[in-house]
Amino acid sequence: MQQVDDGRVRELVLDRPQLRNALDLETTERLIGELDLAARDDGTAVVLLRGEGVGFCAGSDVKEMAQADLATRVRIAARKAVLMQRLARLERPVLRSWTRPPPPQGSPVSVEIIWPAEARAGSTGTLRVMLRQDRTSEELSELDVRIPLPPGVTLGAPTKGVLQLQGVLALRENVGQHGALVEVPVRFGLAGKVMVPEAIARFTRSTIAPATAPARTLTIRR
């Protein structure tokens, strides 16, 4: 990981492009340390978290987890939780930046993510996922949806067809001409204002352009 200061902007660069900047324990510890320094530095106004290469961060380094013993796996999980807390509670804006291909055009799929109007720390709310597809066939089409979760937000209860994988909700739904509504319980663990990354929906086993739901800010109240 690299760290660069430019005036009042502290830039932290994830520098493992060959692994899509997957977070190993060493990088996690460095990020925690740099965020702690930024929190104590009155000269830092903004933290810019950037990933080298074409992706921002692929999540945890699953190869490291697979090769670690049980005690190390527990430590890795605990330190990742600490990192998420540091990001959520930092009293300076944290911006993400990465290089990515241009957005696809003309997707026959649409997805809308509706977060609870009143999100409160320690409570569970309902996340609504609205899906549509423009295929003319009357048969149902299976869609894959990926919804990255902001820090401190988790799947609230076991839900048929929905899994939480490395901080991302993954679901599959059969969608007809009239669309589909999927309701997912989510639990809010930390209070504060967080950035919800964009979600992606696509036809299963298809190269047709996916659809995205834009990123947005979510306020979680105490």
* Cβ 27 vs Cβ 38: under 8 Å: no
Distant-in-sequence, close-in-space partners of 115: CB < 8 Å, separation ≥ 6 = 125, 127, 196, 216, 218
Classify residue 32 by its DSSP letter.
Answer: H
DSSP class of 157: S
Residue 143's closest CA among 184, 207, 202, 205? 202
CATH 3.90.226.10: which residues of the chain?
2-98
CB distance 78 to 32 below 8 Å:
no
Q: pLDDT value at position 9?
A: 85
pLDDT in tens, 114-164: 999 889 999 999 999 999 988 655 678 899 999 999 888 999 999 999 999
Choice between 199 and 206, residue whose per-residue pLDDT is larger: 199
In the chain, residues under CATH classification 2.60.40.10 are 109-221
2-98: CATH class: alpha beta
* Region label for 167, one of left (φ > 0), alpha (ψ between -120 and 50) or beta (otherwise): left
Q: Under DSSP, is residue 36 helix (H, G, I), strand (E, B) or coil?
A: helix
pLDDT at 103: 47
pTM of the model: 0.55
Place domain 109-221 in its CATH homologous superfamily: Immunoglobulins (2.60.40.10)
* pLDDT tens figures, 108-120: 889 999 999 889 9
